[in-house]
A and B are shown apart, each in its own frame.
Chain A
Amino acid sequence: MAAAAGIDNEAKSTNVLRLWTDERARGVILQVVVLVSLAAFIAMIVSNTLANLERAGLDVGFGFLDNPAFFEINQKLISYSSTSSYGRALIVGLLNTLLVAAMGIVTATIVGFSAGVLRLSPNWLVSRLVATYVETIRNIPVLLQIIFWWTILIELPKVADSVVIGGGIYLNNRGVRLPAPILEAGFGWVFFAFLLAVVATIMIATWAHRRHDKSGQTFPVFWVGLGLIIGLPLATHFALGQPVSWDVPVKQRFNYTGGFNIVPELVALWFALSVYTGAFISEIVRSGIMAVSKGQTEAASALGLRSGQTMRLVVIPQALRVIIPPLTSQYLNLTKNSSLAIAIGYQDVVATGNIILNQSGRSLEIVGIWMLIYLSLSLLTSAFMNWYNKHISLVER
């Protein structure tokens, strides 16, 4: 009886031991242990925080977002006044963040791709110049660059000595003031014409591509498309008797008012982020191009492709597979770096949140909102770039 029990125990312990020596089972056990301890750790922190908040008599909640903000914002993409709510002030700030991030991503990509290709130029001077740009810019903290551009821009002529560019455009150290279009009835048709032109261009491009595949004949899609997209809305505009009037800036006692103002803070931030991130992107592009084997280029020229076509049709599509993943990181960095706006007074989501935090004292909630916003922006960017990466990846058979 005792012997049987002993054997039974032994069998059990070997079973447990076997579970541990089994690589897959061990992996599952370790993951469960790590996950449970992580969850316990988070639960501890959260309950500790809540308990302490309760003891300090502080409540956590987002009801305060409905309270009036009582502060002004200098760049508003949607209507906002100092009696609007905190929540609306945050949205105005978020839109400002999105604006500068979107502008920065576009220009940083253009700057980065141009610099990356030029760095590989056989022209010694060009490649050295680009190398100097990259090595200088990426080794200087971006905050200093933002303040640098801003300091230059606020040394532009004062309001009294504004540069008159003509057509109601004025440039001074408070920004570029442009006439703002006021859309009148009938402008909807111009917009419709624009949409029509875009759709037509896409259809022509598809048709030209198919014809090229079949017959090898080429069609100047770019020029035709450009003509359509510019020409069609313009023709409609004049045919309808120009259904737009202009709100032209007027000089007042202190400032130009009316029209549309591009503040120097936005321009400084945009320049700095584009130039800084562009330097990193150019290195990514260079490495991507160099990762494509030389045989591909040689094969392309053996087939009779010109060097521009070789780059566009053979090298770049393959290089993109190397470029996209690190490029995503740069886009995320640019978006996050835009929060340095507060240093020069561009009212992004951090700057507006800061004022709200200060007035309402809701630090926990505001910091939470900030983290949620930047996390969401980053995840959305990543998701899009991952989709694009999959879209262009090599189809392997």
Chain B
Amino acid sequence: MQTKFMLSAFAAAAAFGAVGLSAGAQAGTLQDVQSAGVLKCGINTGIPGFAFTDDAGTWQGFDVAYCRALAAAVLGDSDKIEFVNLTGNQRFPALASGEIDVLSRNTTWTFSRDVDLGFTFLGVNYYDGQGFIGRRSLGIGSATELDGASVCIQTGTTTELNLADFFRVNGMDFEPVPIETNEEARTAYLAERCDVYTTDASGLAATKSAFDDPDAHIVFPEIVSKEPLGPLVRQGDDEWADIGRWTLNVLINAEELGVTQANVEQLAAGTDNPEINRMLGSEGEFGELLGLSGDWAVAAIKAGGNYGEIFERFVGTGTPLGLQRGLNALWTSGGLIYAPPLR
């Protein structure tokens, strides 16, 4: 009898675990957001540069800035956001269940997430890749010399898979030391529990900048994976996906066209560049076609500036992360950042 009771208790618990996946809204996310008057945006629980709280306690960062631009475009106010902090494991169920409207949490665009999990990626706002950091005293200059090494990993990302693939393809062995949080993983690396530490290159830069003696460590040149990071929404609501996609495209096009947070109001009155005019609404009705107001793009750019401004403010060379634009420069400057035109 006791066993039976516990089995039914288990069934109930399992069902409770499952109920988190209920209430998944399929269409009409725009209407839901507008009637609620607030955009529910899923972000990281805290990562320097990408999602962090400032001195005033408000959320800031590269990923957060996208949410603010989207809220401004949809609701006309970049503060009408409810931020939902999610760990790597929570993010997908949260999006699938409708707990959030958009996920902007340094998430890699992969086939299985796009197809199998039923999400739609809105584009790429950061081209990243997994790299290694090690001590200079190891006397090696390349990750291909790591046969037999112990590797610290921050678990819960695509990192494990890339790492295993890289070592297998190169015919090398390694001992994984997978640790849940960045802090503990760093502790283990600094105590020489492992020879190298691996995560996305942007994260390595942030981690290295916090070491007591950054010059004693070297980031190896190999980037072992492609990590195109970007925002994503649930599959099946094309209208909402279009809004999210074109908000990102507006931020990128704005940088290309020289539209900044400072001059966007002035340019919105009308210029002799038809592309700027179409984007900012003085020509055509692009906002209305999306189901938004005519000044949606103005609001989005005013929220935090164009793509380049957001990059420099939160993760660029002037910040503790000190990331170069590199792959994330505009296509006109030799990078990969490229947005389709508004016409």
Q: Contact residues of A with B, CB < 8 Å?
A: 38, 41-42, 45-46, 48-49, 52-53, 55-58, 70-74, 82-83, 147, 151, 154-155, 158-159, 173-174, 252-255, 257, 264-265, 342-345, 347, 351, 354-355, 357-361, 363-364, 367-368, 371-372, 375, 379
Contact = CB atoms under 8 A, between A and B. Distances in A.
B160 to A, nearest CB: 4
B155 A58 contact: no
A364 B184 contact: no
B236 to A, nearest CB: 7
By size class, the interface of chain B is 35 or more
A73 B163 CA distance: 12
Interface stretch (B110-118, B259-267, B317-325): B110-118
B222 interface: no
Contacts of B168: 82-83
21 contacts: A38-B12, A42-B11, A46-B18, A57-B236, A58-B21, A82-B164, A82-B168, A83-B168, A154-B188, A154-B193, A173-B191, A174-B150, A174-B194, A252-B148, A343-B179, A343-B181, A345-B155, A354-B156, A359-B112, A361-B113, A363-B89
B13 A371 contact: yes
A371 B16 CA distance: 12
A189 to B, nearest CB: 35
A82 B174 CA distance: 11
B221 interface: no
A267 to B, nearest CB: 13
Contact of B148 (A55, A254, A265, A342): A254
A252 B191 CA distance: 19
B281 to A, nearest CB: 35
B164 A72 contact: yes
Given A254-B148, A254-B149, 13 more contacts: A42-B12, A49-B22, A55-B24, A58-B118, A70-B165, A72-B167, A74-B177, A154-B188, A343-B180, A357-B89, A359-B160, A371-B14, A375-B6
Contact of A71 (B22, B161, B188, B192): B161
A57 B118 contact: yes
B293 interface: no
Contacts of A255: 148-150, 175
Closest 7 A-B residue pairs measured CB to CB? A71-B160, A45-B15, A82-B164, A49-B18, A56-B24, A345-B179, A52-B22
Given A74-B175, A358-B157, A52 B21 contact: yes
Contacts of A343: 179-181, 184
Contact of B19 (A48, A58, A265, A359): A48
B193 A264 contact: yes
B289 to A, nearest CB: 27
Contacts of B97: 52, 56
Contacts of B234: 56
A354 B8 CA distance: 25
A96 B181 CA distance: 21
B269 interface: no
Contacts of A342: 155, 180
Given A74-B175, A344-B179, A57 B235 contact: yes
B262 to A, nearest CB: 41
Given A151-B187, A255-B148, A364 B88 contact: no
B160 A379 contact: no
Contacts of B92: 361, 363
A38 B193 contact: no
Contacts of B156: 354-355, 358
Interface of A, secondary structure class, is helix
Contacts of A52: 21-24, 97
A306 B16 CA distance: 58
B58 interface: no
Given A52-B23, A151-B187, A253-B148, A361 B178 contact: no
Contact of B184 (A56, A72, A344, A363): A344
B195 interface: yes
A74 B234 CA distance: 36
A347 B178 contact: yes
Contacts of A253: 147-149
B341 interface: no
A68 to B, nearest CB: 10
A254 B180 CA distance: 24
Which residue, B22, B158, B178, has most C-beta atoms of chain A within 10 A? B178
Contacts of B236: 57
A342 B185 CA distance: 12
B70 to A, nearest CB: 22
A217 to B, nearest CB: 46
Nearest to B180: A342
B179 A58 contact: no
A301 B180 CA distance: 57
Nearest to A67: B112
Contacts of A154: 187-188, 191, 193
Nearest to A160: B192
Contacts of B147: 253
A219 B96 CA distance: 71
A55 B147 CA distance: 47
B26 A368 contact: no
B64 to A, nearest CB: 23
Contacts of A74: 175-178
